Amino acid sequence: MLSMYLKALEIQGFKSFPEKIRLSFEKSITAIVGPNGSGKSNISDAISWVMGEQSSKALRGSKMEDVIFGGAELRSQLGFAQVSLVIDNSAGIFNVDTPELMITRRYYRSGESEYFINKTSVRLKDINEMLMDTGLGRDGYSVIGQGKVDAILAAKSEDRREVFEEAAGISKIRYRKEESERKLLKTDENLLRINDKIAELELQIGPLKAQAETAKKYLVYRDELRGLEISLWMEALDKLRSQTTKIGVDYDFTSRQLDEQKRNLEALYEKTGEYSERIKDKDLEVEKIRVEISAIDAKNADCDNEIAVLKANLRNNQESMKQLNTELAERDIKDQNLKNQIALRRQKINEIEKAIAFITEQKSGILLENEEVSGHAGRREKEINELISASAVSESDAAAFAARCDAHRKSLAEIRQRSESNSAELKKAEERLRDEQELFLNRTNELSRLKEESESAQNRIKGQEIKTEGRRKRAAEINEACRKGQMEQNALSDRISLLNDMKRDYEGFSKAVRLVMEEKNKGTLKNIKGTVAELVKTSDRYTVAIETALGSSMQSIVVDREEDGKSAITMLKRRDGGRATFLPISAISGRTLDIRSLNDEKGVEGIAVKLVDYDHKYDGIFMNLLGRTLIVDTLDNAIRISRKHSGRLRMVTLDGQVINPGGSMTGGSAVGNAGILSRTNEIVRLQERLTSLNEENKKLNLKYLDAQRDLNSAAFELEAMNEEYRSLRDEILKLESEMAQRGILIESLKENCASYRAVDEEIKARIDSSMHEIAAAEEKMRLNMKNAEDLKAKAAGLTQGHEALHKKLSDIADRLSALRQEEASKNAEREANCEAMEELSRLSEDFMQEKERKNISMRSLMAKNEEIEAEISEKERLIYQIKAEANLEKERLSQTVGEKLELEAGRNKTEKLTQEKSKEIMELEREFSRLEQKKLAAELEEKQIVDKLWDIYELSRSAAQRIRQPLDSISKAQKRIADLKRDIAKLGTPNLGAIEEFERVNSRYTYLSEQRDDIQKAKTDLERIIREITGEMRTIFAREFQIVNQSFRETFTELFEGGRAELLLEDENDILNCGIEIKVQPPGKTLRTLSLLSGGERAFVAIALHFAILKVRPTPFCVLDEIETALDEKNVDRFAKYMRKMADKTQFLIITHRRGTMEEADVLYGVTMQHGISKVLYIDLEDALA
């Protein structure tokens, strides 16, 4: 029965197996078959590889990376290969506590290898040692392929030993022997070196002993000096700690006060901003109120203008009424004259009628007389009388017509006079109407022009208002910017003053530095150039780095010569002013790093000395201080560079972290702007900002003056435009009022002209009528006169012979004719007077109608005046309301302006408080900076002492505290320190390392002597062990070789069915190193060596030898990779049957393509390849056959 066997094989990414596969095996025979190139031999390679094979050639590759799947048509390459071998360990053969042993090997393309036993990482050596003497090692015979067959059949017999040694079970013993031999070789080498060192040390011990005695004496002095100095320094540290504690309390209190005051200042700034915003709102409100007041004033002005226009209209109406009253008065006079004339006419008519009545009475008397005379006369006489009477009648009619003509002529003269007067009035009215119409047209054109100008002015006013408002806002914004700029300028000036005071007073420097610089300024110390911090400048980017790089050296004082430093030290000692470091220009020099190899390093800013500015006469000083320091941007880059250069560089990062030579690191947070260089840079930066801000503020002030001038100009232009607009509105209102009055006047003049024209037409008609009547009357008068003359002539003819009667009758006729003429004249006069009276009555009636029209116009004007007066009253009432509203708005304006003034007063007060608070903050900052600098100075002094403790004695503060000694007197301690320093100086320069070197060399000498003895003893022991191992190996190999030889004879005879074979040692006296010869005699042939056999015979001999070894020392499993390829069918069958015979002790995995071998297998795995990837198929032959 098998005590252990191969249970499974897991492959992933190995050669042609990219996917993870698991092959499970039974204890019987398993055959792996497949066509050539399918990858079946890769399984054998995988087993060899996982058991430790290191030769890529043995694995059929050129390099180890070839074992990783390299990609195929449909699959990309993998990054690693892994193979696991699972072996049954139920019998506990392997020294593990599990029933299974899993050996795993993993290989990455990067070249890294990993080995595991039961998933625990191990070394390859561990796996090799575990598999030794089991036949499973890399030199074992568990995997037999063409390579192993070739090794057995090799021409050199020495190459066959590994298989026989593994079969003899001496591999592990040989490994122990080789290890011992290697140790022995190393021991010989060590012994040779130790002897050389001992000889060298013997030459050093004598001189070192003398130097050590001097050094010990020096150390006694030094230890006492060390104790005293440490104690003095610890006393100083105690004082500094007390000062630092007090300063820290003050510092924290001042810091809290400063933070609180800054918060208060921020609150004041916010309050000032609120005031500014509220003032801005009030400005807007004031402007709004002023606009409203302007609107009210404009409204009031409009009302005033309207009232002025109404009053002008009222005055015009009153003037018109006055004119009407004048005209009415004139008409009344004329009417009274007409009435007087009518009365006179009526009186005259009465007188004429009386005269006519008297004439009628006289005429009646004459007629009676004529009748009496006529009665006395005859018929002729009667006829004559009748003729005379008729003649008298005709003459009377002619006289009447003559009188009528005279009356008509008088009336016509009066009418013509009236016509001339009316024409003159009409002409005057028409001329006035034309003048008024022309003036009205001019006023209309003027009104249109004024309205256009008014509209244009209004548009300009709107544009100007926008322009003025924009300039007002711009002026306000610039004013606010000026105010803020001035506040910032004041703050900068205060800050610069504070920093300059601190610089002048050397705040932040130690007491000793301040004292030296005071004496230098007084002139008592000569050739003092200044502190390092004063003599160097750098950009803000490197300030923190340079401050950190310089450290306490920033307070070092640069002098011309050593004597100058000595003078300053003497002064400090004399005045107990503390300690300071002096750097003589004449004595100090330095050199810089060679950074050519660092030029390409990421993050390197440069050597510190190259990143600062200073006078070149201080080259030695700054080369010494900064020439060996490298500035790097970040700590990560600094660490990387330090590692790369083995920690040889001192590097400082931009934020002040330090990497020291040797690799130690110093870092953490730093106080912002607390450094002396930072202060200098801040002064320069603030001064530049102040200069820039001063220029900006000047420009802003000029811009504000320009903006204010522009605003005043715009406001003046706006007011001028408003005044022009108001003037235009006044002119428009006046023109409109004037045109209204002139319109009324023109209508009145038109009516007058129409009336005059009507009168003129009537007069013309009456003139024509009078002329016609005069012509008719003259014609009738002429006819009557002719008729009278004819009648007279006829009467005269009849009166011849009757002269007395005729005379009497003639007298009667003359008297009657005279009476009749007078009567006709009176009648004509009465008629003319009646007509004149009628004309005067009509004229009076016209006057009355015109008067009525005038009265109507008067009443209309009076009504209009009443309306105007009412409207004026309404306007005055409205003006009163507007004034009241204006007063309210003015009160509101006054109140708002008052509120604005209160706000401005509040803002001014707040700004004053802000300035006061800023000054308080400046004082607090000054105090804070002073405390900060005192704190830093104390910390720096403390650091200097702590650094001295470390630099001189390599003691931490706590370590120094432990060895501190109580001092009776500081002055005595200082005197003793001086004495010790003199004694030490007398000793010269002792070799302090001589003591340790002597002890070291002596100890080393003693140690090496002991080591030499121990190595010699170990060498003897190793030689003994090697002899014992060699004897054991010879005994075991001789015994086992005979057993294998016997097994080989039997196996050969069985496989070859006859013949004989033998294994021979070429040198019996050196069986562990000699070659092994194989002699065989196949049946029917003579005894011969392997080289004389055919290929099939040689392969069968190798198979027989392997089977013989397996019979003697069976392995848990055996992998046979196509070793029967060269056999014929008959020998394949023999091979297969013999393998079956041995399967009860060894599990076989055979890779084959021979039928006889396949038929003997219990389990069959088939391997195929598609697209460069191997696939595995499982077939259980027993189940398949069943």
Q: Indicate the fold that domain 512-684 takes in CATH.
A: Alpha-Beta Plaits (3.30.70)
Return left, alpha or beta for 516; rule: phi > 0 is left, psi -120 to 50 is alpha, else beta: alpha
Over 50: is that where the pLDDT of 981 sits? yes
Q: Give CA separation, 17 vs 61, 66, 1176, in Å.
A: 16, 13, 9
E strand segments, 1106-1172: 1117-1121, 1147-1151, 1163-1170
pLDDT at 936: 66
**Sorting pLDDT into bands at 50, 70 and 90, what band is 14?**
very high
The candidate with the shortest Cα–Cα distance to 49, out of 13, 5, 75, 22, is 13
Name 788's Cβ contacts closer than 8 Å, sequence gap at least 6.
391, 392, 393, 394, 395, 398
Centre a 10 Å sphere on the Cβ of residue 274 and count the other Cβ atoms it contains: 14
At position 941, the amino acid (one-letter code) is: E
- End-to-end C-alpha distance for the chain, whole angstroms: 25
Task: Show the 3-state SS of 379-411.
Answer: HHHHHHHHHHHHHHHHHHHHHHHHHHHHHHHHH
Three-state DSSP class for residue 1036: helix
Quick one: average pLDDT of 1091-1117? 81
How far apart CA 591 and CA 626 sit, in angstroms, is 9
At position 210, the amino acid (one-letter code) is: A
How far apart CA 934 and CA 188 sit, in angstroms, is 68
Three-state DSSP class for residue 528: strand
Pair 715, 468: CB distance under 8 Å: yes
How far apart CA 1021 and CA 1012 sit, in angstroms, is 14
Over residues 835-861, the pLDDT tens digits come to: 777 777 777 777 677 777 777 877 777
Rounded to 5 degrees, φ, ψ at 77 are -70, 160
pLDDT at 102: 92
What is the DSSP track for 950-1016?
A: HHHH---HHHHHHT----S-HHHHHHHHHHHHHHHHHT-S--THHHHHHHHHHHHHHHHHHHHHHHH
Mutual angle of helices 993-1056 and 1095-1112, in 10-degree steps: 110
923 or 603: which leads in pLDDT: 603
> For 14, which DSSP code?
B
Over 90: is that where the pLDDT of 10 sits? yes
Pair 1048, 1107: CB distance under 8 Å: no
Quick one: average pLDDT of 131-136? 69
How far apart CA 814 and CA 772 sit, in angstroms, is 31
Over residues 305-322, the pLDDT tens digits come to: 777 777 777 777 777 777
pLDDT at 105: 92
The candidate with the shortest Cα–Cα distance to 529, out of 540, 520, 537, 538, is 520
Over 80: is that where the pLDDT of 1043 sits? yes
Centre a 10 Å sphere on the Cβ of residue 720 and count the other Cβ atoms it contains: 11
**Sorting pLDDT into bands at 50, 70 and 90, what band is 155?**
very low
The candidate with the shortest Cα–Cα distance to 86, out of 104, 107, 67, is 104
At position 548, the amino acid (one-letter code) is: T
Quick one: average pLDDT of 422-431? 79
Quick one: average pLDDT of 357-382? 68
Pair 104, 135: CB distance under 8 Å: no
pLDDT at 104: 94
How far apart CA 749 and CA 741 sit, in angstroms, is 12
Among the ranges given (105-119, 795-809, 938-952, 1079-1093), the one the predictor scored with the smallest mean pLDDT? 795-809
Among the ranges given (691-705, 784-798, 1057-1071), the one the predictor scored with the smallest mean pLDDT? 784-798
Over 70: is that where the pLDDT of 804 sits? no
Return left, alpha or beta for 111; rule: phi > 0 is left, psi -120 to 50 is alpha, else beta: left
Alpha carbon dihedral 956, 957, 960, 964, in 10-degree steps, equals: 180
Task: Tell me the helix, strand and coil percentages in the chain, rounded to 5.
Answer: 70, 10, 20
pLDDT at 33: 92
Percent of the chain with pLDDT over 90: 3
Quick one: average pLDDT of 878-897? 81
Three-state DSSP class for residue 1163: strand
Pair 94, 130: CB distance under 8 Å: yes
Strand order from edge to edge, sheet including 557-559: 528-531, 557-559, 582-584
Quick one: average pLDDT of 728-739? 77
pLDDT at 83: 93
Rounded to 5 degrees, φ, ψ at 276 are -60, -45
pTM: 0.41
pLDDT at 81: 93
Burial class (CB in 10 A: 0-12, 13-18, 19+), 727: middle
Domain-wise residue ranges, the chain: 512-684
Over 90: is that where the pLDDT of 410 sits? no
What is the DSSP track for 850-862?
A: HHHHHHHHHHHHH
404 or 180: which leads in pLDDT: 180
Task: Show the 3-state SS of 411-427.
Answer: HHHHHHHHHHHHHHHHH
How far apart CA 268 and CA 249 sit, in angstroms, is 28
How far apart CA 461 and CA 168 sit, in angstroms, is 126
Pair 283, 476: CB distance under 8 Å: yes
Pair 626, 607: CB distance under 8 Å: yes
Mean of per-residue pLDDT scores for the chain: 79
Over 90: is that where the pLDDT of 801 sits? no
How far apart CA 346 and CA 354 sit, in angstroms, is 12
Over 90: is that where the pLDDT of 11 sits? yes
Q: Give CA separation, 810 vs 783, 792, 817, in Å.
A: 22, 10, 10
Radius of gyration of the chain (CA): 77
Burial class (CB in 10 A: 0-12, 13-18, 19+), 880: exposed
Quick one: average pLDDT of 169-177? 71
Over residues 77-131, the pLDDT tens digits come to: 888 999 999 988 887 777 788 888 899 999 998 889 899 998 889 988 888 777 7
How far apart CA 31 and CA 1167 sit, in angstroms, is 11
How far apart CA 896 and CA 1144 sit, in angstroms, is 120
pLDDT at 729: 79
